[in-house]
Amino acid sequence: MGCLAACGGGGGGSPELPGPPAPSDAQSPGGIWFGTDSAGESVVFYIAETGELRTTMHPEATIFVSFGGGSVNVTSTNVVAGSFELRGALSPSTFQRGEDLGCSIAGSVQERQTLSVDVACSDSSGVVYDEALTLMYDPNVYERDSSLDALVGNYTLEFQPATNSLTVVADGTLFGMFHNSARCMINGNASVIDANYTFLKITWTMTACTDLVGVYEGAVMSGFAMVNPAPTGDPDSYYFLLTGQAQDGLFSVSVLYEPT
């Protein structure tokens, strides 16, 4: 399995800014949180111990998943607030991407149990998604240890393996070629967020792009790598979920890197 859900896209976004420090007795928002909205569509929040967030959801009930990135803060013992940018949904009839959305999150967390939040997403015409969500915590993936030593190695993707490559060395430096939507060289780094949990911080920059429209040149991607979350496949594979800004807006990477 080389690509989970989708591998690229566009839209608009804003920089992720650190919020105020959490109170000393605050509960952690960290985890992989999953559930469904009122339309029965899947919602998954990937939240690191730092509050950095990536998400997959279907804000306009299309068959195509939308990816988003942002952050949350715990403002008192268990009160959560934050925001994220979400890639515009792809129309199943025209395959044109809609306007990107700005989303807010407000609610509460019961550490390692439930995340209960109101999520509202808007475009220039107003609110297009407004849901009260109760998401459950997945300990089976999130509570796996993480380390750079485990990530070090050479990887490829199941599709177009000759032009998809990734190498990670001992200090976390990574480089290779990404060829899906874009065909670009990638250079960046990986780092440990919290060794008790699976998320590794990933940042890379895309250069020397040869895609037809050239919208990915200079795009800076960031997000998480985590050990293979699927119950099947190579257990030494890593799922990368990244978002960043390309020339036409928000771009996402959602791929499973397999060791070579």
242, 202 Cβ separation under 8 angstroms = yes
CA distance 70 to 74: 14
The CATH number for 197's domain is 2.40.128
Q: Which range of residues forms the domain containing residue 165? A: 148-259
Residue 175 lies in a domain: yes
Q: Are residues 157 and 251 in the same domain?
A: yes
Q: Are residues 78 and 119 in the same domain?
A: yes
The model's pLDDT over 89-142, given as tens digits with 9 standing for 90+, comes to: 666 566 667 789 999 999 999 999 999 999 999 999 999 999 999 999 999 999
Its pTM stands at 0.88
Domain end residue (candidates: 110, 142, 174): 142
- Those residues whose C-beta lies under 8 Å from the C-beta of residue 231, and which sit 6 or more positions away, are none
Domain end residue (candidates: 142, 172, 192): 142
Which tokens go with 196?
């008790």
Three-state DSSP at 166 gives: strand
Residue 140 burial (CB < 10 Å; 0-12/13-18/19+)?
A: exposed
Residue 19 or residue 60, greater confidence: 60
Residue 17 lies in a domain: no
186, 174 Cβ separation under 8 angstroms = yes
Domain total in the chain:
2
Residue 19 lies in a domain: no
Q: Is the pLDDT of residue 212 over 80?
A: no
CA distance 61 to 203: 30
Domain end residue (candidates: 142, 177, 201): 142
Q: Are residues 70 and 138 in the same domain?
A: yes
Q: Are residues 95 and 52 in the same domain?
A: yes
Residue 18 lies in a domain: no
Q: Are residues 127 and 160 in the same domain?
A: no
Residue 25 lies in a domain: no
| pLDDT at res. 55 | 97
| pLDDT at res. 213 | 65
CA distance 245 to 15: 9
Q: Are residues 138 and 173 in the same domain?
A: no
Q: Are residues 113 and 184 in the same domain?
A: no
CA distance 169 to 176: 12
Q: Are residues 101 and 121 in the same domain?
A: yes
Q: Are residues 92 and 188 in the same domain?
A: no
Residue 21 lies in a domain: no
Residue 22 lies in a domain: no
Q: Are residues 115 and 176 in the same domain?
A: no
Q: State mean pLDDT over 196-203.
A: 98
Which tokens go with 74?
């715990």
Residue 12 lies in a domain: no
Residue 220 or residue 93, greater confidence: 220
Q: Are residues 118 and 153 in the same domain?
A: no
Q: Are residues 138 and 160 in the same domain?
A: no
